[in-house]
């Protein structure tokens, strides 16, 4: 789906936008400080079946969830990059800290503005790992809610032809 800016309200649905073109509209958001919002759109060259629409929308929700997990967390004012590798490393470092008291140093921030942070004690490591887990859990729960709240009736081709 493509993120298109310029809308002022949510208008989920599917519309015929050309002789052989159907556009699915989904979602709505406003960037910080913007006077207008955005929605997602996907074009088909045929009237799509509901399963095709569901697949496109779920793929977008899953991609947004992945992006939120990856780069949507801050800890103590610094970006925490939660790639799969970093998630594994943080877990291993926390286990090492628990077992032998070795305090890890993590790179927070961005590649352009890195911030190296060495944990002071095991409680700080636990706080960090707890924040990571809460962030991931929140993103996954938001994913589930977004999928559960979709009104599929507005995407049903039979509904459109009434």
How high does pLDDT run on average in the chain? Answer: 93
Q: Which residue has the higher pLDDT, 110 or 157?
A: 110
pLDDT band, very low/low/confident/very high, at 33 (cuts 50, 70, 90): confident
**pLDDT score, position 31:** 86
pTM: 0.88
Instruction: Please report, for the chain, the start and end positions of each structural domain, with discontinuous segments joined by +.
Output: 1-48, 50-162
Is 134 a residue whose pLDDT tops 80?
Answer: yes
**pLDDT score, position 131:** 97
pLDDT band, very low/low/confident/very high, at 34 (cuts 50, 70, 90): confident
CB 46 within 8 A of CB 52: no
**pLDDT score, position 81:** 95
Is 162 a residue whose pLDDT tops 60?
Answer: no
**pLDDT score, position 32:** 81
Summarize pLDDT for 59-98 with one digit per residue, the tens: 999 999 999 999 999 999 999 999 999 999 999 999 999 9
Task: Tell me the three state secondary structure of residue 9.
Answer: coil
**Given phi > 0 = left and psi -120 to 50 = alpha, else beta, which region is 33?**
left
H and E: helices and strands count for the chain: 4, 8
Continuous segment of H or E residues that includes residue 90: helix 84-100
């Amino acid at each position: 789906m493509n993120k298109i800016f310029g809308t002022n309200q949510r208008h989920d649905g599917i519309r015929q936008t050309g002789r052989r073109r159907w556009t699915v509209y989904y979602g709505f958001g406003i960037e910080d400080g913007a006077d207008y919002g955005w929605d997602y759109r996907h074009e088909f060259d045929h009237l799509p079946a509901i399963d095709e629409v569901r697949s496109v929308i779920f793929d977008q929700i899953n991609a947004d969830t992945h992006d939120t997990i990856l780069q949507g967390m801050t800890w103590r004012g610094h970006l925490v990059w939660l790639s799969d590798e970093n998630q594994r490393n943080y877990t291993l470092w926390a286990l090492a800290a628990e077992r032998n008291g070795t305090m890890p140093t993590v790179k927070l921030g961005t590649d352009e503005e890195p911030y190296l942070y060495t944990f002071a004690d095991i409680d700080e490591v636990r706080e960090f790992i707890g924040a990571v887990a809460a962030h991931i859990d929140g993103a996954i729960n938001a994913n589930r809610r977004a999928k559960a709240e979709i009104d599929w009736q507005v995407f049903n081709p039979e509904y459109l032809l009434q």
